[in-house]
Structure 1
């Protein structure tokens, strides 16, 4: 049996639509072993205990690429990343499936192969790349291959995920986006993406608030989240240096200074007055990425 542990991720990170992502220290783990026949999937809701399960389907696609045919598979899921909340739960399943299949097949794939296969299954690399390599990454597709760089953020920041008790599918969140954007909106996002990266690397945190603004997805998706503007305003009032929609939402991510001790309590008090129940989870960047634990 092998165990794959994969971190949660937040993608887009404000203006970095489909290219920026951050791995966080919240994890899904998958125990996988080859059995004599059949498919056994444990640790998830009944609707996912079939061959459409994303871990299983990712494993099968990887086996096909490698040319390996397992007799049967047993998958046990230890899920801590909330589903359909914009925290990379789908990406973690894909990465876990690709890495598990590679290990069961003899570990013949290189890391760049795993990165490319995972991104192809996901459709874009912003979640899968940081899930594999850790840290904050900027990733693009070039001729069906992922090109990425890790962004060395200074250690004196942390995050607080504001996670509501309702799901928001990526499909629904994509449907509200425009088919085209204006030239000025494109320029707006390019400038802020560049400013965001430079501000995080150089530690100029006063600029992060402005760098996290965008005109490509957050202005459209925030309409799917009740009280979004009020929550963002309170985040800044209670000391956040930046706020953005995590992935496709509905989780809202606050960027905090590393020594902040008051945000969670203050924000928790405010959110108690809102209809939806919210979970606040303080998080740090996971710098290692997904790893294999052999038993």
Structure 2
């Protein structure tokens, strides 16, 4: 079962783009649904609705559902999508456990993405995690311990491991200055790894084409702004130093550009915002 929840772990809209691509690539049917009222904070994330002239019409109700889909070889798999629960995470994890045991799911794969100090000019990197080392298929670029904010999805993986269910996942590293916009390159990279760990196969040509369009758009913006170009070059120096083993973190101290001189993600994101705001909002090369 592939799990991709909207919310905290979806920088660059990467997991949403990946799950959306899967839904577009196969017919599907809902095989399980969760009582969303138990988990959703409507005041924090107010669902959109339409007001027409003098009355309310449609309402986009949030849904947490499991769908049955098939890959290119007609192999069946499940896809859990919807908003990350705002509350009752333990109850949510237990409900997912019941779905997994009912359908005899052999492996759950989590998709996520986080903003990182990485440049868009380098390949998307993924952090691979799992409930058991035997499930890992790639070596992460760094080792160590870090305290991070939790999420319903990460807690679910912890609980599944405690309950004896195999779970793994991939977290894509998104350039922090593009975290608010669709980043299809990361979605394609995650699906490639999901295929590697599960044996499932999909055609990601559409995502790859959208990624190329996005790269051209960003390159145009970079070329038009000395400030943006300087920041990207600084991140490239830090990235390359880290991968040469010359730095302990992606914010290397020995690069030509002092990290303290780098604008924040919000500041550099503002440089791109005006350009990206006019693009389509479907996430496949446009604003997320």
**TM-score, normalised with respect to structure 2:** 0.31
Higher relative contact order (CA 8 A, sep 6+): 1
Q: Which is richer in strand?
A: 1
